Amino acid sequence: MLSGQNIVCFSPNRWEALWRNRQQIMSRLAPQNRVLFVEPASYLRDVKAGGRRAVRGPRLDSPLPNLWVYDPPAYAPISGRRPLSDLTFAGRRAHLRATLRRLGMQRPIVWVFQYNLGEMLGHLDEQLTIYHAVDEYAAYALSASTTTEADQQAAVRRLEAEVIRKVDLVFVTSPALLESKRPLHAHVVLVPNGVDYAHFARPAPEPAAMAALPHPRIGYAGVINEKLDYAMLAETARQHPEWTLVLVGPDVLRRQREALEDLRTLPNVHMPGYQPVQDLPAYMQSCDVCLMPYLRNEWTRNISPLKLYEYLATGVPIVSTPIPAAEAFAGSLWLAEGAPAFAEAIAGALAADTPERRRQQQALALAHTWDSRVDALSEAIQDRLAELYPSAA
């Protein structure tokens, strides 16, 4: 395990938001290192639109020993136009440097978790820089703008390539990402996502929001976004009114709103909304089958879904569309595409569920814990530091 280091993590989401791999990784590194978790900076347009309520920070909290959450000052927001953008960047940089001095964090490892968060690379007297790709960002369903989607995707690829060129080490979470990033850097390491096994395997009481819902319950737990096949889910729910379909998670969908609203109107569909990470095991365990109802496209070809490993740890049978991450576990879950086949797979999973099968599934999850993933990340970091600073090894 990496130890004795100062780590500055630039995250695209806030610490208290839906937990993703950055919170899992940093919370495990903190006991033996010092971690500054940097939340995303405000944008000038949001500060203007929101008035005083949008003016957050600067803020420095410590939710865990050796880990601080830093909210950059809203008086220096991100602005796209010069010279204002230069001035606000200088303000963010000065305040972050002062915060690092205050915490006594010198020569940090700078760890960037998204292509558009690399503005501080080369500005913090860092000893090592890391880019961690968890998605093929150019494949996202992008927001509408005056440029074409192809132009937006090209811009994302260009920005990501620039960040990759600047760093010392690149982590990726899927074989497809390894394939696409390896030509851009000499040091690209594959470390998939993992699971907090004890948290998701430990039996949890049924949530009150689930208690009145009839069995069998067919559940999805994750972000409600453009990755999901809402038409397939709606057809499955219509074909099987005796099943209760539960979608747990925050709704951030921008496109396909009509498809989601059509699904939401069905009487056997329930959407309890965002649930904190401490409550997710209870929701998953309250289901009879857990779903990964993903569309098959370039976005999902590259993902390493956290929910896959979390579902495995619960022991609840899993039905997924045949994306690569699920196909890697083909012998331990059900794969199907299209509503008739997907429904047939769900019925097969319900019929095949036994305590012994659940124990076997949970045993598989033990090979994919976050502790083992952080050990792999630590080893790669230590190896790269030894290459860069051989006299210190």
pLDDT category at 223 given cuts 50, 70, 90 is: very high
Ranges assigned E (strand) in the chain = 6-10, 34-38, 59-64, 67-71, 109-112, 128-133, 169-172, 188-190, 217-221, 244-248, 269-273, 289-292, 318-320, 334-335
Tell me the Ramachandran region of residue 62: left when phi exceeds 0, alpha when psi lies from -120 to 50, beta otherwise: beta
In the structure encoding, which two tokens stand for residue 87, read together? 């001035």
Domain ranges of the chain: 6-194+369-392, 197-368
CATH of domain 197-368: 3.40.50.2000
pLDDT digits (tens, 9 = 90+) for 278-292: 999 999 999 999 999
pLDDT digits (tens, 9 = 90+) for 3-35: 999 999 999 999 998 889 999 999 999 999 999
Mean pLDDT of the chain: 93
Tell me the Ramachandran region of residue 4: left when phi exceeds 0, alpha when psi lies from -120 to 50, beta otherwise: left
- Please state whether beta strands 269-273 and 109-112 pair in parallel, antiparallel, or not at all (unpaired): unpaired
Would you list the DSSP string of 1-66?
A: ---S-EEEEE-SS-TTSS--HHHHHHHHHGGGSEEEEEPPPPBHHHHHHHGGGG----EEEEEETT
Query: Which superfamily does CATH assign the domain made up of 6-194+369-392 to?
Result: Glycogen Phosphorylase B; (3.40.50.2000)
- Segment 114-130 shows an average pLDDT of 96
Least confident of 75-84, 170-179, 279-288: 75-84
pTM of the model: 0.92
- Segment 241-247 shows an average pLDDT of 98
Residue 57's pLDDT is 63
**Alpha carbon distance 369, 194 (integer Å):** 5
- 6-194+369-392 and 197-368 have identical folds: yes
Question: To which residue do tokens 């890697």 refer?
Answer: 328
**Alpha carbon distance 365, 56 (integer Å):** 40
301-315 core/surface letters (b: 16 or more CB in 10 A; e: else): bbbbbbbbbbbbbbb
